[in-house]
């Protein structure tokens, strides 16, 4: 449970042991399960991943925003070890246990708004989104669901219909679920210059009113900062305007905070950064349990209670070890300086990325909030997406022991989601590697 917080390169990446494991993998693991980085990880701590060849890599992705609290966080490891030795399963709907209730207490306190809230737990982000759809439909007696361009909500049948990108998420896997409507998003970098959040919201609302009808909509789902879509931060006023329209029309406003939630942006939820934005339900996963599979839906008690008893559940949802991990994570966030650290990391990233943008016009946009930052790469002097340069830059970082992730509808965004325990030194070192990569490709 400890690793020196240092980047160490002993072999070229991937090294020979990883290469052997990759050979075994391709024989038996479905080709449909891709890999960004064929480097096999044996252990991790803090912000460092150690591979099968003894190399140590800086983790700038947290397994897509999951180990926000850091790899093998000591309190989390202890809580899971204690729990797993005592009780691993009953199925909460068969016979309950306290840790589930404690996790719900913490999550309902963390979620925004002073109204009474309730929660329910599941396994994955997609499952949380699916359950939020069920709850909103039951609560409103309506069927239709609105989502936004560039959105990502999961890989199940319903959620793949809610994603913006057909490929790779939906291609060939249809028929997709119906009653899902895609509305235009606020994308400040690509919207007409000067378009306000209110104007972008009006564009979306007009579309939904004409195409679907407000009275038909059960819910509007939106990521307050879009994740897979490329860390698109909507213009101020966009979320609040949509929310007022939802409230005026009896539509459940759901914030999908699977990627943006749980301390990542310097607050429990990214929703809190927009004044006047008051989502009825939130979906959470990823960062809530430091790598243990746990997701949840939390929000207004009267909406959460609309589902009939027996209507929500699942064998493993909120399993004892998963909720024990969730409690260990949420208790630390509730009592420590984690939000401040996320903002500090955000300042370091933003400052350095803005400086790099001055030197390298290939960086078209720098955006994000807290420890959720991204750069969008373009052909210099244009806004034309530059996916080839993105791939090159990713490759450079990976070969030099820095794990970074891409994103974006046009595959031209590099996103930074470091664990919040990363030291300033490691963060700067990772950015130095990125800077060298930019120099090389420019």
Residues that bind ligand PLZ (CB under 6 A): 64, 124-126, 129, 152-155, 223, 227-228, 256, 258-259, 285
CB atoms within 10 A of CB 434: 24
β-sheet bridge partners, residue 252: 219
Q: How far is the CB of 425 from ligand PLZ (least distance, A)?
A: 28
Q: How far is the CB of 130 from ligand PLZ (least distance, A)?
A: 9
Q: How far is the CB of 221 from ligand PLZ (least distance, A)?
A: 9
Taking the least distance from each CB to ligand PLZ, the nearer of 352 and 415 is: 415
Taking the least distance from each CB to ligand PLZ, the nearer of 285 and 328 is: 285
Instruction: Work out whether strand 295-300 and strand 252-256 pair parallel, antiparallel, or are unpaired.
Output: unpaired
Q: What is the C-alpha to C-alpha distance for residues 440 and 360, in angstroms, rounded to an integer?
A: 11
Q: What is the C-alpha to C-alpha distance for residues 412 and 230, in angstroms, rounded to an integer?
A: 8
Instruction: Work out whether strand 144-148 and strand 180-183 pair parallel, antiparallel, or are unpaired.
Output: parallel
Question: CA angle at residue 137 from 131 to 139, to 5 degrees?
Answer: 100
Taking the least distance from each CB to ligand PLZ, the nearer of 44 and 126 is: 126
Q: How far is the CB of 267 from ligand PLZ (least distance, A)?
A: 16
CB atoms within 10 A of CB 296: 30
Taking the least distance from each CB to ligand PLZ, the nearer of 225 and 303 is: 225
**Spatial CA neighbour of 60 closest among 45, 47, 73:** 47
Return the structure tokens found at 411: 């595959």
Taking the least distance from each CB to ligand PLZ, the nearer of 168 and 174 is: 168
Taking the least distance from each CB to ligand PLZ, the nearer of 49 and 362 is: 49
**Residue recorded with tokens 């202890």:** 78
Per the omega criterion (within 30 degrees of 0), is the bond before 297 cis? no
DSSP secondary structure letters along 143-211: -EEEEETT----SSHHHHHH-S--TTTTTTS-SPPSSEEEEPPP-TTTSSTT--HHHHHHHHHHHHHHH
Q: How far is the CB of 440 from ligand PLZ (least distance, A)?
A: 28
Q: What is the C-alpha to C-alpha distance for residues 404 and 418, in angstroms, rounded to an integer?
A: 9
Taking the least distance from each CB to ligand PLZ, the nearer of 144 and 228 is: 228
Taking the least distance from each CB to ligand PLZ, the nearer of 128 and 421 is: 128
Q: How far is the CB of 66 from ligand PLZ (least distance, A)?
A: 9
Taking the least distance from each CB to ligand PLZ, the nearer of 13 and 225 is: 225
Q: How far is the CB of 415 from ligand PLZ (least distance, A)?
A: 11
Q: How many residues does the chain have?
A: 442
Q: How far is the CB of 155 from ligand PLZ (least distance, A)?
A: 6
Reduce the secondary structure of 248-283 to three states and give it as a string.
Answer: HCCCEEEEECCCCCCCCCCCCCHHHHCCCCCCCEEE
Residue of minimal Cβ distance to ligand PLZ: 125
Q: How far is the CB of 298 from ligand PLZ (least distance, A)?
A: 15
């Amino acid at each position: 449970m400890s690793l020196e917080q240092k980047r160490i390169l002993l072999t070229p990446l991937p090294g020979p042991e990883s290469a052997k494991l990759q050979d075994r993998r391709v024989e038996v693991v479905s080709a449909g399960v891709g890999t960004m980085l064929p480097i096999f990880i044996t252990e991790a701590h803090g912000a460092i991943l150690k591979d099968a060849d003894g190399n140590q890599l800086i983790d700038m992705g947290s397994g897509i925003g999951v180990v926000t609290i850091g790899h093998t966080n000591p309190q989390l490891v202890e809580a899971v070890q204690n729990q797993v030795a005592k009780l691993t399963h009953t199925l909460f709907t068969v016979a309950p246990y306290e840790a589930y209730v404690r996790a719900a207490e913490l999550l309902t306190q963390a979620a925004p708004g002073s109204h009474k809230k309730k929660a329910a737990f599941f396994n994955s982000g997609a499952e949380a989104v699916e359950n939020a759809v069920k709850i909103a439909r039951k609560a409103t007696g309506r069927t239709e669901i609105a989502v936004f361009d560039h959105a990502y909500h999961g890989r199940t049948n319903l959620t793949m219909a809610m994603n913006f990108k057909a490929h790779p998420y939906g291609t060939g896997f249809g028929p997709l679920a119906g009653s899902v409507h895609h509305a235009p998003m606020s994308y400040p970098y690509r919207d007409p210059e000067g378009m306000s959040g209110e104007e972008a919201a009006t564009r979306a609302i007009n579309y939904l009113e004409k195409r679907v009808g407000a009275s038909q909509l059960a819910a509007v789902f939106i990521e307050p900062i879009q994740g897979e879509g490329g860390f698109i931060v909507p213009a101020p006023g966009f979320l609040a305007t949509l929310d007022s329209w939802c409230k005026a029309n009896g539509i459940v406003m759901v914030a999908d905070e699977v990627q943006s939630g749980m301390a990542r942006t310097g607050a429990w939820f990214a929703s809190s950064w927009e004044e006047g934005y008051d989502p009825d339900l939130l979906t959470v996963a990823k960062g809530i349990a430091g790598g243990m599979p746990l997701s949840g839906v939390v929000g207004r008690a009267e909406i959460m209670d609309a589902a009939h008893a027996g209507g929500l559940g699942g064998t493993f949802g909120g399993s004892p070890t998963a909720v024990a991990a969730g409690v260990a994570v949420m208790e630390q966030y509730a009592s420590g300086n984690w939000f401040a650290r996320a903002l500090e990391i955000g300042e370091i990233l933003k400052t350095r990325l803005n400086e790099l943008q001055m030197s390298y016009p290939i960086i078209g946009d720098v955006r994000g909030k807290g420890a959720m930052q991204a750069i969008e790469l373009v052909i210099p002097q244009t806004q034309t997406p530059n996916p080839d340069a993105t791939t090159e830059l990713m490759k450079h970082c990976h070969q030099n022991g820095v794990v970074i992730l891409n994103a974006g509808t046009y595959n031209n965004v590099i996103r930074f989601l470091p664990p919040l325990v990363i030291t300033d030194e490691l963060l700067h070192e990772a950015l130095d590697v990125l800077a060298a990569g930019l120099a090389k490709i420019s």
